[in-house]
Structure 1
């Protein structure tokens, strides 16, 4: 088997969080083979960059030639290029290739260390951007390249267009430091796309930029189109942030290998779901426990960060007389509604990975309380206008609001509905087997 080949031209991070070390993990997670041209050695940890030792230019060129003449490459990613002379050399070497090039204009480390000489910025603009299939600056880097403030979505759109005008094939301006919900703006010279997702609150984000750029390069090397590659790479980064490693006393590194978790756990989690559904379908009398809109059971894969990481029943759970019946097979991403509940619960407690939508009844609420369960309610009438305007955001908001008030993830969350919205009671637990245990207890059929 010949894997896709990605050449990484970047610096080494002695702490293992960013640079070449992060690049190797990201490429491996996506099945690509990474080769390296190391441009500098750094003495750094999770708190600071203590020293930078540049690689001699002639040895940079020898590394590139050794790889190019024997192994070849399907894509290139550039990272830390600390001097104008090095930028000039790399631009010359890239002129010898005809493969996609992702330029990550690394300027400052997470700990604040300067990784690009100020005079090299102009060289990067003039010499490297015209070689770039994609350039991936964060807001600070976009400001340094363009000499103007970039702190809003509109400014990101203008910045991306300006970077393309400077010669880049496309620009991805990363808005992780935007106020409110973060997002990234992709512009390819024809259209722009804005990718957004809820912020993951964690200090362990060292290596996000390296990981994203290398993930995109790895996918381009495999023949992906640009926009899907960016979207898939962003998913890897979200999983990497969610699975960030608590190391050192500063910004711990993201963990690109966390992207493998859902794939490795898919089979066992599907088996747990099938077993839980078989149990439910085998008990008479549970048919009355689902709402008119039908029920749903969701179970998140470990480290889930999107609806595609949450298993659910295709076609929902219906009833045939007194018994429940799954209308279709269990599939990843089969229900965005139950996924929103599960993901909101996991944001507070990563172990609370399962949820089920049931019929609302005051008697069921009282029974849950009599069982000693924690019960929370949210009112759709209190939902902020900006949440109402976002389709499908009510469940995420309501679940988060209840958890915030209670200080934990409860066993039951319900709402009394509103015009056009049926009231629904939702069970939450660590896994689908525990959901079935609670469903049986709530129905009066448990031990």
Structure 2
């Protein structure tokens, strides 16, 4: 699984090939790079751009494309006609690529142009037709399509027009959209510059994918705050990484949308102004002294901003917990006071005469040690067999969810609550411990990814997803959710 990133070097590492490498690494894919330009920049501004000689770019491409097969290629900053020529020629003669992701970088968020004016029509002629998928923002979509975008209908028309230029699929990023009644868009004043080109006041962000003549929508809650640097880079790199893994394009875009949303939630600033989306365990600045609480809080934030997560919340609600190293009791396990509860939201869109429904979840209270009983008991019991399994979340049981877990290759074990001894039932807090022990013992004393039971008289069927830390658990749960939404078809993308 390999990605070749073709683009500029960003000295702040917020965007450019550095961000591509960060993204691919977090997604388990090895990323190589072809540098087309070197920039002197911080997250808020570009000070200087130096193009790499075309012969050097050609040599980099030759070194990588000739000897490695099964590549996904990501193209971003090309800057000039000479670089466009070299890249287009190299990719036309390359064999064994699994996809070409084109991020049509026209200008930086600060307003500095990253593609020379005399190279723009040449870019559309030479690069766009190479794209398995192209990922413009609204401004770039207007440039590529020559359509002034003022509504969602215009976004759809722009996607179709860009596809007619030769790109097999088009995803127009919605981070700058004002989404409200009628789906209208409005511009800022001309001197606003950069990524603030469009007003927005909507609660949600939708990325629109046009693929094989069909539209797909991927919706996340909007994260308010200061200007971002590098979110679009992460999005396109994540698509390339997922294509390199062998995922189909729709799944790759869906995963990239969620992955980027998580990075934005965790974003932070190095200059006190512009924020950089953070991936995995990256951090900037100081956080809580209690790493258990901090780590759990970040994972819970991600769950709360994941559309459709309510589909996995059981009637008795959920909890996500994280134990201290060496935990021996509930008091050593952090969880959510009041559990994780369903939160549903909808609105009527008058233009398309359709009601849009979103299914989220919310933490009912603060994070506290000792806040969870059953899920905490499950983790403490599991830790007796594997001390590194310190986190878990309970989700609803469903035959379809069980099939999905099997399809994902998760290790699975179960126990039968009807066989629970009477003396265990009578002891407070012992039922879950007994059940987890039965499941682990049936798995050769190895803690599985998922333990489930199908219920008993007055007891709701349940699944518990285990992991090394909360992000491990959340990644598993979101993987389940993505496939469950595909099967269920009830949550709008």
Structure 1 stretch displaced more, 308-317 or 248-257: 308-317
**Contact 2:336/2:372 (8 A) holds in 1:** no
**Contact 1:300/1:309 (8 A) holds in 2:** no
1:20 corresponds to 2:17 = yes
1:66 corresponds to 2:63 = yes
> 1: distance between equivalents of 2:369 and 2:307?
17
> 2: distance between equivalents of 1:165 and 1:80?
22
The Cα shift of 1:107 comes to 1.0
Q: Say which SS state the counterpart of residue 235 (structure 2) adopts.
A: helix
Instruction: Report the equivalent of 2:84.
Output: 87
> 2: distance between equivalents of 1:357 and 1:41?
46
Query: Among 408, 423, 428, which residue is 2:365 paired with?
Result: 428
Instruction: Report the equivalent of 2:489.
Output: none
> 2: distance between equivalents of 1:392 and 1:127?
40
Instruction: Report the equivalent of 2:230.
Output: 207
The Cα shift of 1:111 comes to 1.5
> 1: distance between equivalents of 2:128 and 2:26?
27
* TM-score, normalised via structure 2 length: 0.58
Instruction: Report the equivalent of 2:44.
Output: 47
Query: Among 320, 339, 349, which residue is 1:356 paired with?
Result: 339
Q: Say which SS state the counterpart of residue 434 (structure 1) adopts.
A: coil
Instruction: Report the equivalent of 2:127.
Output: 128
Per-residue Cα deviation, 1:71-92 (whole angstroms, up to 9, x for no partner): 4451100010101221122111
1:260-409 aligned at under 5 Å gives the runs 301=300, 303-307=302-306, 315-317=314-316, 355-356=338-339, 386=348, 389-391=355-357
Q: Say which SS state the counterpart of residue 256 (structure 1) adopts.
A: coil
Instruction: Report the equivalent of 1:105.
Output: 104
The Cα shift of 1:108 comes to 1.0
> 2: distance between equivalents of 1:151 and 1:110?
21
Pick closer, same or farther for the CA change 1:82–1:384 going to 2, 3 Å: closer
The Cα shift of 1:241 comes to 0.5
**Contact 1:239/1:258 (8 A) holds in 2:** no
> 2: distance between equivalents of 1:259 and 1:72?
30
The Cα shift of 1:301 comes to 3.8
Per-residue Cα deviation, 1:374-429 (whole angstroms, up to 9, x for no partner): xxxx9x9xx99649954456x87xx8xxxxxxxxxxxxxxxxxxxxxxxxxx9512
Per-residue Cα deviation, 1:241-295 (whole angstroms, up to 9, x for no partner): 01112211331211123599xxxxxxx99xx99xxxxxxxxxxxxxxxxxxxxxx
Q: Is there any run of 5+ residues in structure 2 with no aligned partner, and where?
A: 179-201, 284-290, 322-333, 374-493
Pick closer, same or farther for the CA change 1:164–1:433 going to 2, 3 Å: same
The Cα shift of 1:434 comes to 3.0
> 1: distance between equivalents of 2:157 and 2:49?
34
Pick closer, same or farther for the CA change 1:309–1:18 going to 2, 3 Å: farther
Instruction: Report the equivalent of 1:195.
Output: 218
The Cα shift of 1:68 comes to 2.1
Q: Is there any run of 5+ residues in structure 1 with no aligned partner, and where?
A: 261-267, 274-297, 318-325, 333-350, 359-377, 400-425, 437-447
The Cα shift of 1:116 comes to 0.8
**Contact 1:13/1:41 (8 A) holds in 2:** yes
Query: Among 250, 274, 289, which residue is 2:273 paired with?
Result: 250
Pick closer, same or farther for the CA change 1:62–1:212 going to 2, 3 Å: same
Q: Say which SS state the counterpart of residue 257 (structure 1) adopts.
A: coil
> 1: distance between equivalents of 2:114 and 2:346?
43
Structure 1 stretch displaced more, 23-32 or 108-117: 108-117
1:232 corresponds to 2:255 = yes
The Cα shift of 1:300 comes to 5.3
**Contact 1:9/1:79 (8 A) holds in 2:** yes
The Cα shift of 1:175 comes to 1.4
1:173 corresponds to 2:110 = no
Q: Say which SS state the counterpart of residue 155 (structure 1) adopts.
A: helix
The Cα shift of 1:18 comes to 0.5
RMSD (CA atoms): 3.8
> 2: distance between equivalents of 1:208 and 1:116?
19
Pick closer, same or farther for the CA change 1:353–1:193 going to 2, 3 Å: farther
> 2: distance between equivalents of 1:309 and 1:189?
25
**Contact 1:301/1:310 (8 A) holds in 2:** no
> 2: distance between equivalents of 1:384 and 1:74?
41
> 1: distance between equivalents of 2:42 and 2:209?
31
**Contact 1:311/1:330 (8 A) holds in 2:** no
